[in-house]
Amino acid sequence: MTRIAFQGTEGAFSEEASLKTFPGATAVGLPTFHGVFSAVSNGEFDLGVVPVENTTAGIINQTYDLLLETDLHVVGEIVLKVEHCLLAPAGTRMEDIRRVISHPQGLAQCDGFIARYKLEAEPVYDTAGAARELAEHPRPGLAAIASRRAAERYGLQIVADSIQDFSGNYTRFFVLSREDEPRREGPYKTSVVFTTRHRPGELLAALQAFADQGINLTKLESRPRRDPDRPFSPIFYADFEGHAEDAGPSQALLVLLRRASFVKVLGSYPAVTSWGFVRQKTSATPEV
């Protein structure tokens, strides 16, 4: 049976994404993203499922930093609609709540709700972990922002549901593996990270490699490099349509290698073609 590592605890959105995409697998929560990457790298788990970006709160920086630092392959993507609930012990009324705990992403995705009710926000390491903490150590005036699944798991009351600021609140996850997956039928997407020389026109020249092959970029994000000698020097993360082994993308990557100062292909993987779960039929699919 496939073992999947995710960051968080039972009831986390990452657990929900893992089990809906790989039914029959065993999903185990670990306290940190570092722990997930390490556990997959050393063979303790077959796969890792980690969030990479959210339509409301943006990218998860630590995930992208760890993708750069490790040799794991991105072999799949999952898109999950995230609906947050305000959870509290039974009998709690909305007017009783003064403070709320959740993961920073959960708090950011519900920022308008928190401001509207003048709640004090306190970040913790996980949404489901916040629910578990509240259930085990209830305190007057304290609530948690987490999933309906977490409310059921930890016996909490849903004081308010769908409290995220935007109804189209989706989180995208990467599926990580030690080994790459063979090319299969269907649309693919590829993720790369690269840097350019610090000169005018260098980024344009690098991106022209994709335009020349008629390749659609679906994401372009910059982050400061962790380089003490060049603070704020950017590193670029890009996603594009197609598999790295296909004719057009492979040619674009060859040109990018010549024009950029550093290139790393994070992985090619089946693309989600509708908002929801897509079952990734990889060799790591669990037996059911």
The catalytic site residues sit at 171, 173
- CA–CA separation, 129 vs 46, rounded Å? 24
- CA–CA separation, 270 vs 227, rounded Å? 33
- CA–CA separation, 124 vs 126, rounded Å? 6
What is the β-pairing status of strands 142-146 and 99-102? Answer: parallel
Angle between helices 33-41 and 61-69 (to 10 degrees): 30
Measured on CA atoms in the order 71, 82, 220, 274, is the torsion positive or negative? positive
Q: Structure tokens of 99?
A: 């403070």
- Sort 195 into a burial class: Cβ within 10 Å, 0-12 / 13-18 / 19+: buried
Beta bridge partners of 30: 7
CB 4 within 8 A of CB 48: yes
- CA–CA separation, 249 vs 255, rounded Å? 10
CB 84 within 8 A of CB 164: yes
CB 125 within 8 A of CB 103: yes
How far is residue 131 from each of residues 60, 79, 85, 145, measured CA to CA in Å?
Answer: 21, 23, 10, 7
Dmax over CA atoms of the chain, in Å, equals 64
